[in-house]
A and B are shown apart, each in its own frame.
Chain A
């Protein structure tokens, strides 16, 4: 039993491969098609990821509220459950049973679809995320390209939500978000490219294993900071939270949303926070690798550390103005990331 648990945590890939082989063997013995089994496996993986996504969002919201409270001389949630740990669950249930309001003037179809697009896009990103050795839903060989492509799909949902609400504040929030995500995508891609050059692969699993023990963060310190900044902007968090800046645009693109649809946006937002941290971990901090502790634990520890950094930033800085935001991307981040890319390219070639 102990041996099995050890293998489950430390050699997850072999355990899973063993299960797969055994299942395939018995499946073949019954004369059933192997494709059906593969589909079944994928469905199980999808369910597991979905479960993780929800639980993780519940935890991150609680984590953020507690950390923020610490920084602000407050106690944070402490009423529902021990230490308030069930507060988010209670909030979620409240959101789920609230009345779902669609404004009369809204584009009903689009209004309904928008939150689903946002959540689906974030959900799809989990496909290439390596949680541990062999713990990737599909380690495709263009994982990095997939991550960048799907990562910017969120903007469609946000823009659609802002447009469909037929509210000026929502529309401005949606437009800001579109401009912001598209602008910050560019420096993000350029910094990720230097990582790809160092690793010599676009496959997530290879990037993790190609890193030295200390991760790429020491080889790419500027790249790490650039990536963190750009992805913080891409997930619309303070100080880049202009699309929903409450003092200017009421709530931006979520102004008209309530109940479950609002919960979807919210879930997407916090999952995106986790994903930004998770990809920063995978690309720069050595992913799941680390001594003694099981890979999955290392991965989560590092990711939550990055999440903590992002929370820290959020509760410290005031918000940028929208034109400063664009200038910062095109005039500061872009040249820096280009320079970083060129220097990396030269060094990779020379050494």
Chain B
């Protein structure tokens, strides 16, 4: 990549000037810094600087027991804690060779899809703010609040849930969860249509996002983009569909894709995905089986020697955990594959030659979560 951070000040000619966006800028949504060389309002070049919230998590994991790592996975991406729990727990279970009961799989899928909707809602809210529309923010938060309540009843946490365990859960789903869920499924479809017409189909919004920040299929794949950002570029890739896990093969859902790979497509794909998540939730609720909510595993897990890669489709793309065990109570190595990092790498490529206002539109449409980039 030709955009590695350069030491020393970036050279500018007399018509150009350097604009430092971040680390504390409203549009970076976290501590992220990009050095933008500008010619008037036009972006000439862009150099991203990351690492402001680097915590050395992967090294930290090597000094924790297998179970102690789960809460840390929440904190890599605080908006999709459940997707991270899911991928990690699945990797450890594969190492151990555990088969979890059907009911556990159903609860996991329900939680993961609720988490996807919550994450997309927060993206919608924040993106609305980026585009200068304040009102959708509060609408999206109203619905996200309901999901928060459901997740909280089930796990005890709203954001960093620490919900999944190796082998299942600590508790069964609480009573009253399904009435709440079916009420949510009942009215949320109409809300999605409302956001679609209020923001996504709004003429000003379309004018600002159509044809802006285009990345074509090949380029997107070569940067390793995944999730809605890749699917917007007309590439059909969804871990749920391509490398099926849990009960996803039993469920019928579409994988929405965009045609042009522009900012608007990325937005539209996320809206469509929320509709598909609703479909999945409805099916999971109808087919919900009776049974145990966990299998017994030893208090201190010591998986046999070996290595496993497990990935799930998170809200931002492929969330993968590559775990290596040397047969002890602590992992030998845990490598996290995080979608925001790869998606962010494509930013300079997408942005060159655009307006400063597009910087905000494009950065928002990538749905970056900074702690996930830095880890």
Contact surface of A with B, Cβ cutoff 8 Å: 68, 71-74, 168, 172, 238-239, 241-242, 245-248, 250, 315-324
Contacts and interface: CB of A to CB of B under 8 A. Distances in A.
Nearest to B141: A73
B12 to A, nearest CB: 12
A323 to B, nearest CB: 7
Interface in B331-368: 355-361
A68 B199 CA distance: 17
A238 B132 contact: yes
Interface string B134-159: 11001100100000000000000000
Contacts of B356: 172, 248
Contacts of B129: 247
Contacts of A317: 132-133, 202, 204
13 contacts: A72-B135, A73-B138, A172-B41, A247-B132, A248-B356, A317-B132, A318-B132, A318-B208, A319-B131, A319-B133, A321-B357, A322-B357, A324-B204
Interface of B: 17, 19, 25-27, 41, 128-135, 138-139, 142, 198-199, 202, 204-205, 207-208, 355-361
> Which of B128, B356, B359 lies at the interface centre, i.e. has the most chain A CB atoms within 10 A of its CB?
B356
B131 A316 contact: no
Given A73-B139, A73-B142, A316-B135, A321 B207 contact: yes
A321 B355 contact: yes
Contacts of A316: 133, 135, 198
By secondary structure, the B interface counts as helix
Given A72-B134, A72-B135, A318 B357 contact: no
B138 A318 contact: no
A248 B138 contact: no
Contact of A74 (B26, B138, B358): B138
Contact of A250 (B17, B26, B133): B26
Contact of A318 (B25, B27, B139, B202): B202
A28 to B, nearest CB: 59
A245 B131 CA distance: 9
B138 A72 contact: yes
Nearest to B41: A322
Given A247-B131, A317-B132, A321-B355, 7 more contacts: A71-B135, A72-B139, A246-B26, A247-B130, A315-B134, A318-B128, A320-B207
A89 to B, nearest CB: 24
A215 B270 CA distance: 47
A114 B17 CA distance: 25
A319 B202 CA distance: 11
Contact of B26 (A238, A241, A247, A324): A247
Nearest to B24: A250
CB-CB nearest 8 A-B residue pairs: A319-B132, A318-B133, A318-B131, A72-B138, A247-B130, A321-B357, A247-B27, A318-B205
Contacts of A246: 26
Q: Which of B25, B142, B358, B359 has the most CB of A within 10 A?
A: B25
